[in-house]
Amino acid sequence: MSIEHRDDTGDRFGMWLFLYTEVILFSGLFILYAVSLANYPEQFSQASHKLNIYFGTVNTLVLLTSSLTIALAVSAIQMGRIKQTLILCWITVGLAIVFLINKYFEWSAEIGHGIYPGSEQLAEMGAGITVFFNLYYFTAGLHGLHVLIGATLIGVVAVMTAKGKVTSDRYVLLENSALYWHLVDLVWIFLFPLYYLIL
C-alpha cells in the first residue's frame, strides 16, 4: 500500500510539473499579446470585431460543461461507479469534438473571407490587424491541439477504466487527465475575452 501511495504521489507531482510548463508556454503567448495590444490598441479592437462571438460563446459554454463532466467522472470513480464514470468521460470527449467542430466552421468562415496568416487581404488591413490574427491563429490553434490531445487522453483512460485498469483504488490516471483538461478549459477562459471581447 505504501509503495502504491508513493507511485501515485509521484504521478501527481509529475503531472503538476508538466502543467507548470504548459502555464509557462501560454503565459509567454499572453505576454506577447499584451505587448502587441499596447502597440496596436485600436487595430486589435477592430480585428476583434471581425471574430464571430457566437462561436466563441458556444465554445466557452461547451468547455465549461466539459470541465464539470470530467470532474464528476473523477468523483464517480472514487465511489466505484464505473458505468457513470465511463458515461461522463465519453460525454467530455463528445464535448471536445463539438468544440473542435465549432472551431472548424469558425475558421472556415474566416479563411473564406480571406482572413488568415499570409493572405493579401489580411496584409491590406494593416500591421496591427495582421499581428492580431497571427497571434489568434497560433494561440487558438495551439489550444485546439491541446483539446485534441486531452480528448484522446480521456478516451484512452475511459477504455482502461472499462477494462478494469482504472478503479476506485487506483484512479490517478483519470485524475491527471482531468487536471490536464481543466488547464485546457482555463486557457480558453483567458483566450475568449482577450480575442473576442475587446471593446
State the DSSP H helix or E strand holding residue 33, giving kind and residue range, or none if neither: helix 2-39
Sorted by sequence, the CB contacts under 8 Å of residue 117 that are 6+ apart come out as 133, 134, 137, 138
The pLDDT value recorded for residue 8 is 75
| Ordered structural domains, the chain, with CATH | 2-196 (1.20.120.80)
- pLDDT tops 50 at residue 130: yes
Mean residue pLDDT of the chain comes to 94
**Cell numbers standing for residue 103:** 472551431
- Could you tell me what percent of the chain has a pLDDT over 70? 96
Q: Please tell me the pTM assigned to this model.
A: 0.91
Write the pLDDT tens digit of every residue in 98-113. 999 999 999 999 999 9
Indicate the pLDDT class of residue 6, thresholds 50, 70 and 90.
Answer: very low
